[in-house]
Structure 1
Amino acid sequence: MANHQAGLPDDQSGHCNFTASYMFCQAVRDHKPVWMLEDMRTTEYFHWEQDASSKMYSPSEALLCAVEHDHLPYAQYLLSRFPAEALKVPGGHFCYCPPSAPHLAMAVRHDRRYMLGLIVSIANKRPSLTSYIDRAGCVHLEDGKTPLHLACQLLRSDIVLILLGNGASPRIEDRDGLTPLDAILEQMWGSRVDVATKKLCLDYLLLFMPNPQFQMGKFLREHPERWALLLGEDKFNSLVGNIPASLCLQAMQTILQTLPPSHFPKSVQELPLPQKLKLLPCMGKQLPTEKIL
């Protein structure tokens, strides 16, 4: 349909497209009701292009907007109604990199823990999305980092735990060959800020990573005194291979490997073990994945 058939002058098509995009994003930002957002998303005349073709926001584009503005009810609707379509890479990107997980990356960057828990819980239920949580970002934009890399870089300890508990691999390397463990160790070496959070992220990674693999092993061995001070003697010697991990840590690593990601963290809470033997108090608390399901 041409612009004049919609009652719009020819030079207003681009303006209409911009206005429609702004109106939709603003409505999501203002947490308008789901029915209203879906009516806007699926109304073609809001989205006129200069070539007189029409389009709608895809479920994927709408979900990305919902994640950015933390509109959890709208995200729940999109993921329940269009799970596969909502988790696709949004269109319009002229990139030939492997499929990525921009919605997870957005949730990590904006610290949307409940949103991230919702996304990974849906992904874990669909066989076609088994590798979704480990998809690396575009090498041009994210340097091939997975959502777990980003969470470690940003010191989002709760998100690190959610990702690991839901099956994210701590062994995947980014474009530079660095694992999430390398990301945490680099931060511990470079700054004394947020030391407790860095150590918590490190402990979470080690819980889900028997026989740690990382690039910085040689660097640790070259500076033993400072690393022993940063990490503690036992943890430093375990990381560089001088001694095995503690029996308690090894036991928890083995147990966590047997627990299905789709039931995390409830499966950890139900373990018939005293809380002090679960190593980390946070393993027994309610996490975002529980609240939203």
Structure 2
Amino acid sequence: MPWLLSSQLELLSSSPSERQCERTAFSFYCAVRELQPVWLLEETRRMEVFCWDAGRPRAFSASEALLYAVVHDHQDYARYLLDRYSLSALTAPRCSFCSRRSGGAPHLNVAVRYNRISVLAMIVEALKDYDAEEARRAYLDSCGGCAHGADAGKTALQVAVELSRPDCLLLLLVHGALPHGLDAALQRLDTAAAGERRDAQRCLDFLLLFLPEAPAMRHLQDETPHWQSLLGNEVFTWLCGLAPPPLLLQALRTLARSVPGQISHLPALLQPLSWP
């Protein structure tokens, strides 16, 4: 499975039945990778593909198929699975290594890790099928529960910050994900290579827009010249609690709280990048 750590693949069992299940699953994985038609993929999944689970084969689930669709950006197949199976396609599948339910929101994490923005948008849109707002937010903010996953213990938003995926981050924030991870965003900006700094800056900017209250990060004053050069003096003094936010930042924070979906439609002049 592509979302497992590579060292785990060596530990897969080798009984004849298990190997047959692995072969059918791999064939299906290749078919999704080749962007085969949706009808063919579904016919194959329901009739020919099996997984080894708790000592016996079982049918390949829609949730597992959706993970493959996310990895290979098969948008038509992802759309079909979400339309046909709704929230059941987003349930966490069993870990291929330990056969436990992985928990969390692996589809969100994988979409962010592979930067599948269109599929991520479909997933967060499908979350509207939750009857309760609390359930939707809990899914957005859930962490991977299985220690064998590549993003174990991390929310999709944390993965977006760590990998500097600003478009994915904005989607998650607009749909209600908690804007945690400011320290990680600052660290990422500090260590980003020149070619990655713009995306790291955008991630930090988006987090600043959606913070419920002004942060108080006085420890930044321990390296004042360094952080002033990275953030600009106005943002630096605001983060340290020494001054109000820049006027543009304050206005956009108000917009983010009232109509968050409009942030991505702002003209380039008002896009949140470099507040001074």
Q: Is TM more than 0.5 here?
A: yes
Q: Partner of 1:133 in structure 2?
A: 140
**Scaled by the length of structure 1, what TM-score is found?**
0.76
CA gap of 1:58–1:212, structure 2 versus 1, over 3 A, is farther
Matched, 1:68 2:71: yes
Q: Partner of 1:7 in structure 2?
A: none
Check conservation: 1:13, 1:48, Cα contact below 8 A.
no
Please tell me the residue identity of whatever aligns with 1:196.
Answer: R
Q: CA deviation at 1:277?
A: 7.4
Q: Partner of 1:236 in structure 2?
A: 236
Whole-Å Cα distance in 2 between the matches of residues 51 and 187 of structure 1? Answer: 41
RMSD, matched Cα: 2.8
CA gap of 1:122–1:96, structure 2 versus 1, over 3 A, is closer
Whole-Å Cα distance in 2 between the matches of residues 32 and 192 of structure 1? Answer: 38
Check conservation: 2:104, 2:145, Cα contact below 8 A.
yes
Q: In the comparison of the two structures, how many residue pairs are matched?
A: 251
Whole-Å Cα distance in 1 between the matches of residues 52 and 250 of structure 2? Answer: 58
CA gap of 1:167–1:154, structure 2 versus 1, over 3 A, is same
Q: CA deviation at 1:41?
A: 1.0
Matched, 1:209 2:204: no
Q: Partner of 2:184 in structure 1?
A: 183
Aligned ranges 1:30-49 → 2 under 5 Å: 30-43=34-47, 46-47=49-50
Aligned ranges 1:18-57 → 2 under 5 Å: 18-43=22-47, 46-47=49-50, 53-57=56-60
Aligned residue for 1:55, secondary structure, equals strand
| Ranges in structure 1 where 5+ consecutive residues have no aligned partner | 1-10, 172-178, 282-293
Please tell me the residue identity of whatever aligns with 2:145.
Answer: C
Q: Could you tell me which of 164, 178, 194 is aligned with 1:155? A: 164
Identity percentage over the alignment?
35
Please tell me the residue identity of whatever aligns with 2:122.
Answer: L
Please tell me the residue identity of whatever aligns with 2:62.
Answer: P
Check conservation: 2:87, 2:129, Cα contact below 8 A.
no
Between structure 1 and structure 2, the one with the greater Rg is 1
Whole-Å Cα distance in 2 between the matches of residues 121 and 22 of structure 1? Answer: 29
Q: CA deviation at 1:220?
A: 0.7
Deviations 1:25-56 (A, max 9, x none): 1111111111111111111x542759985421
CA gap of 1:53–1:253, structure 2 versus 1, over 3 A, is same
Matched, 1:83 2:89: no
Check conservation: 1:67, 1:115, Cα contact below 8 A.
yes
Whole-Å Cα distance in 1 between the matches of residues 164 and 220 of structure 2? Answer: 21
Q: Could you tell me which of 169, 176, 189 is aligned with 2:178? A: 169
Deviations 1:89-111 (A, max 9, x none): 012455587x3110111111111
Q: Could you tell me which of 103, 106, 111 is aligned with 1:107? A: 111
Check conservation: 2:192, 2:200, Cα contact below 8 A.
no
Please tell me the residue identity of whatever aligns with 2:21.
Answer: N
Q: Partner of 2:272 in structure 1?
A: 280
Whole-Å Cα distance in 1 between the matches of residues 20 and 101 of structure 2? Answer: 30
Check conservation: 1:249, 1:279, Cα contact below 8 A.
no
CA gap of 1:96–1:245, structure 2 versus 1, over 3 A, is same
Check conservation: 1:124, 1:130, Cα contact below 8 A.
yes
